[in-house]
Structure 1
Amino acid sequence: MKSCIVCDLEKPTGIMLYNGFICESCEKDIVCTETNDPKYEFYLTKLRRIHA
């Protein structure tokens, strides 16, 4: 299991993006979030933790 960079929980499934892991539920939330939604900024902040 890996720790999700968005929710910080240990999850068994998800995607690897460079050196970060995003669980399936967070991935779905990110994909469905509109740019005018307040959660959008939250996700951007969390995704900045990924370094190429």
Structure 2
Amino acid sequence: MDELTENTCIICGEPKSEGIHIVSEFICDACESEMVHTDVQEDKYHFFIHRMRQIWVEKNA
């Protein structure tokens, strides 16, 4: 994929050019980094789980 192509991150909703694709969805580098450094006790952790769950919901819809 062309590195200049912008994709919309499923976490922050922003168009970004660098990140990862999981199934058919995109997560930007900034959100990926924040997710892996978020402790399970933090409220933000549950937000990330909810957003990530959308990958499987949309794939199986």
**Band the TM-score falls in, shorter-chain normalisation:** over 0.9
1:21 and 2:34 aligned: no
- Helix, strand or coil for the counterpart of 1:42? helix
Length-normalised TM-score, structure 2:
0.81
Matching of residues 1-52 of structure 1 within 5 Å: 1-51=6-56, 52=59
Percent identity, aligned pairs only? Answer: 35
Gaps of 5+ in 1: none
Amino acid at match of 2:48: Y
Greater share of residues in helix = 2
Moved segments of 4+, more than 2 Å: none
Length-normalised TM-score, structure 1:
0.94
- Higher relative contact order at CA 8 Å, sep ≥6: structure 1 or structure 2? 1
The structure whose Rg is larger is 2
d(CA) in 2 for partners of 1:48 and 1:28?
Answer: 18
